[in-house]
Amino acid sequence: MSYGKHLAFNRDGKVGIITLDNAKEFNLVGTDFLYELEEIQKEINVDRDLGGIVINANGDNFSAGIDLKFLKGVSSQFIMNNLVWLQKLYSYWQELNIPVIAAIQGLCYGSATELILGCDFRIAADNARFSLPEVRFGLAPDMGGTTRLTHLVGIGQAKRLIMGCEEIDAQEALRIGLIEILVKPEELNERAMKLAQKMASLPPVGIRFAKKGINMANESSVGAALLFEQAQSTFCCGTDDLREGVTAFLEKRKPEFKGR
């Protein structure tokens, strides 16, 4: 299956741009959406020149979440057969070696919120609204929502949003740490691209190990995280990019990083 009906994928220099592209149906998440997302991830896997990913959306809204027509037909057997795959689609962004930025406007509900939780940075327009309403339909978030939201905003706020089915605006999302940057709607994509391009210009090895180290620190003990720092530092200090970065700085010239 190829993408193009629900999602678009383009390049701007070293930045890949994934666009939720079914605005007339609120960029709903359904079977075709998820298969298209997997196809784009396969393309990303073989592109060694990418230095960052931006996930944005066409239209007034990022996404209204899961397509309820899809949800109505889901059975326990379907979940048993497919949930690990579904979770991996959103975990992919957290595990990817390059930074992933979500640019959010309007509605960001349910599965769409779980999608952005897997990203490294969340930039929202001041008209964005967030909700995880799964409990209202008799289930709980199952694609990383209960896990990543709790890590990001803490247990109390996670329970308020998930168990209370509370909808919050962008200002509240910034206050509790659900998003990192708040901008005007007309500045959203420019701000996301500016951040992505900046990080894409940095040494790939440094970016990769910084991301992995932060993720590990969030998920493990201090001792384990410090051990990872020891290993990554030993590796990085033997790379050409480290020597190039230091030499370029001393010579007052633009560095040329090669990812090794």
CA distances from 190 to 21, 77, 93, 126, 246 (A): 18, 43, 21, 15, 30
Question: Which residue has better confidence, 254 or 194?
Answer: 194
What whole-number percentage of the chain has pLDDT above 70? 100
Whole-number pLDDT of residue 236: 87
pLDDT one-digit tens code per residue, 204-249: 999 999 999 999 999 989 999 899 899 999 988 889 888 888 888 9
The three-class DSSP label of residue 7 is strand
Q: Tokens standing for 156?
A: 């109390």
- The catalytic site residues sit at 114, 134
Q: Quote the DSSP letter at residue 66.
A: B
Question: Which residue has better confidence, 208 or 71?
Answer: 208
**pTM of the predicted model as reported, rounded to 2 decimal places:** 0.93
pLDDT one-digit tens code per residue, 85-103: 999 999 999 999 999 999 9
Domains in the chain: ranges and CATH: 7-200 (3.90.226.10), 204-250 (1.10.12)
CA distances from 225 to 48, 100, 259 (A): 27, 22, 23
Whole-number pLDDT of residue 74: 82
Number of Cβ within a 10 Å radius of residue 19: 20
Interatomic CA distance for residues 7 and 11, integer angstroms: 14
